[in-house]
């Protein structure tokens, strides 16, 4: 962490690679972001065009890190299969808190990759100065809520009408992970 932004991160763990997006990832990102399940739970433009994907992989995801918003990464298997995206967003440097977010391609769902990456990235954030990592999911998004629980996050409650997705207000289940949660589990 330097100057209120995360350092660039490339990491290999448990058969996965977390790294910044590059231009060659744009077709994979466009395909994943147009998936109906991804569109259902993640507030994205629809349709998600190749221009959106090129901008995200080459400019926007990197600019958001530079601006201190968080960290926006691609997740891959070590043999190069695209799994999806992992992000730390809405980072508050004064209060040292951030929110983890993710989405997975249809082929990668149900294999535990997102849970593994959530465990890694949330602990990485806590090891790099954050005091709190939040995870928000719509109440009906049972897969995302399972990820939070399996990754050791604590359910805090429902934030009513706290998000917008597809031009509608949505409730969000709030989960958190703090350093003392890790100390208790070790």
Contacts of 4 (CB under 8 A, 6+ apart): 68, 93
pLDDT digits (tens, 9 = 90+) for 64-85: 999 999 999 999 999 999 999 9
For helices 142-150 and 113-127, give the axis angle rounded to 10 degrees. Answer: 50
Query: Is the confidence at residue 186, as pLDDT, over 80?
Result: no
Query: Is the confidence at residue 2, as pLDDT, over 70?
Result: no
CA atoms within 13 A on the CB side of 171: 8
How far is 108 from 75, CA to CA, in rounded Å? 10
Query: Is the confidence at residue 10, as pLDDT, over 80?
Result: yes
Query: Is the confidence at residue 185, as pLDDT, over 80?
Result: no
Handedness of CA 12, 100, 103, 155 (dihedral sign): positive
**Do residues 79 and 69 make contact, with C-beta atoms less than 8 angstroms apart?**
no
**Average pLDDT of every residue of the chain:** 95
| pLDDT score recorded for residue 30 | 98
**Do residues 74 and 81 make contact, with C-beta atoms less than 8 angstroms apart?**
no
Q: What is the per-residue burial (b if ≥16 Cβ within 10 Å, else e) of 75-101?
A: bbeeeeebbbbbbbeebeeeeebbbbb
pLDDT digits (tens, 9 = 90+) for 44-68: 999 999 999 999 999 999 999 999 9
| pLDDT score recorded for residue 167 | 79
In terms of DSSP H, where are the helices of 72-165? 113-127, 142-150
pLDDT digits (tens, 9 = 90+) for 112-155: 999 999 999 999 999 999 999 999 999 999 999 999 999 999 99
Query: Is the confidence at residue 166, as pLDDT, over 90?
Result: no
Query: Is the confidence at residue 42, as pLDDT, over 80?
Result: yes
């Amino acid at each position: 962490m330097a100057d209120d932004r995360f350092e660039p991160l490339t990491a290999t763990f448990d058969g996965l690679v977390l790294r910044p997006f590059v231009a060659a990832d744009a077709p994979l990102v466009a395909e994943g972001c147009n998936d109906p399940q991804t569109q259902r739970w993640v507030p994205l433009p629809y349709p998600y065009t190749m221009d959106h994907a090129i901008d995200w992989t080459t400019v926007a995801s990197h600019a958001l890190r530079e601006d201190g918003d968080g960290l926006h990464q691609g997740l891959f298997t070590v043999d190069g299969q695209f799994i999806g995206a992992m992000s730390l967003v809405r980072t508050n440097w004064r209060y040292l808190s951030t929110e983890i977010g993710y989405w997975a391609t249809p082929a990668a769902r149900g294999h535990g990759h997102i849970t593994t990456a959530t465990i890694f990235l949330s602990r990485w954030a806590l090891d790099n100065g954050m005091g709190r990592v939040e995870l928000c999911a719509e109440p009906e998004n049972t897969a995302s809520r399972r990820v939070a629980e399996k990754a050791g996050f604590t359910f805090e409650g429902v934030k009513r009408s706290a998000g917008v997705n597809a031009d509608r207000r949505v409730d969000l289940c709030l989960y958190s992970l703090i350093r003392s949660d890790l100390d208790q589990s070790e």
